[in-house]
Amino acid sequence: MHILILGGTTEARELAAALAAATLAERTGPRVTSSLAGRVAQPRLPAGEVRVGGFGGPAGLAAWLRAEGVDAVIDATHPFAGTISRNAAEAAAEVHVPLLALRRPSWVPVPGDRWHPVGSLDEAAALLPTLGSRIFLTTGRQGLAAFAALDGLFFLARSVDAPEPPMPAHTEVLLDRGPFTLDGERAVLREHRIDVLVTKDSGGAATAPKLTAARELGLPVVVVRRPEPPAGVPTVPDVPSALGWLAQL
């Protein structure tokens, strides 16, 4: 059996590691290939085979599935990686290969949170001038263009790799990679005098401490909602559930 994991997330690495461990213990098992988009210069590589780069749209992915004899696809990409998820749904349907989406649950506000849900980065940018002037932007290096016109605000933009223009005129870049600690997030907010946090609803524990730190300081948080997943694709919230789905195959 050949399993393709569309990866790049913690869950994708955990799934690949679990399948590799099972193969080692049983001295036999599936062939596992993890595919990474290649947007991070030095990604954390999962166990097993790894390919880096795009497929060339749904047609290219379908051709790759056929050529490599893939028997199952698990889409464990970031919740905001909408393009590859749509391509995977189309390609898997064309080739008649089972497809599963592995998605960590969304974050849920708790008492004390001052969340402002929005549907896009553009909506977030339009809202910011009404909320504060020193913004902690944690939406990734590819989304800064949406905020480029906000010359009157200060932005602390955190990303794994350095972002490219366009970006706001008053931007300080913080290069860092999660998981992040609560103490560390408290320090970032205080040292940079942040009064608004902007984040995508990526879910998971690795980047959640910033929400707790913002709650403690009473800061407003602009939360970009996730895009809708492709219709008809079964979804599970964690690695054990994905392993159960594979076992049923």
Say if residue 208 is in the same domain as residue 242. Answer: no
Say if residue 119 is in the same domain as residue 71. Answer: no
Say if residue 147 is in the same domain as residue 71. Answer: no
Say if residue 100 is in the same domain as residue 157. Answer: no
**Which structure tokens are listed for 83?**
């393009």
pLDDT of residue 25: 61
pLDDT of residue 45: 87
Name the residue range of residue 161's domain: 114-224
pLDDT of residue 26: 65
Say if residue 61 is in the same domain as residue 161. Answer: no
- Answer whether residue 27 shows pLDDT above 70: no
pLDDT of residue 204: 87
pLDDT of residue 103: 94
Report the CATH number at residue 217.
Answer: 3.40.50.720
231-245: pLDDT as tens digits: 999 999 999 999 999
- What mean pLDDT value characterizes the chain? 93
Say if residue 162 is in the same domain as residue 60. Answer: no
- Answer whether residue 216 shows pLDDT above 90: yes
When divided into structural domains, the chain yields a total of: 2
Say if residue 118 is in the same domain as residue 157. Answer: yes
Say if residue 70 is in the same domain as residue 123. Answer: no
Say if residue 196 is in the same domain as residue 182. Answer: yes
94-141: pLDDT as tens digits: 999 999 999 999 999 999 999 999 999 999 999 999 999 999 999 988
41-90: pLDDT as tens digits: 678 889 889 999 999 999 999 999 999 999 999 999 999 988 999 999 99
Say if residue 121 is in the same domain as residue 219. Answer: yes
pTM of model > 0.75: yes
pLDDT of residue 228: 85
3-state secondary structure the chain: CEEEEECCCHHHHHHHHHHHHHHHHHCCCCEEEEEECCCCCCCCCCCCEEEECCCCHHHHHHHHHHHCCCCEEEECCCCCCHHHHHHHHHHHHHHCCCEEEECCCCCCCCCCCEEEEECCHHHHHHHHHHCCCEEEEECCHHHHHHHCCCCCCEEEEEECCCCCCCCCCCEEEEECCCCCCHHHHHHHHHHCCCCEEEEECCCCCCCCHHHHHHHHHCCEEEEECCCCCCCCCCEECCHHHHHHHHHHC
Percent of the chain with pLDDT over 90: 81
How does residue 22 score in pLDDT terms, banded at 50, 70 and 90? confident
Say if residue 145 is in the same domain as residue 188. Answer: yes
Summarize the confidence of residues 170-197 as an average pLDDT: 96
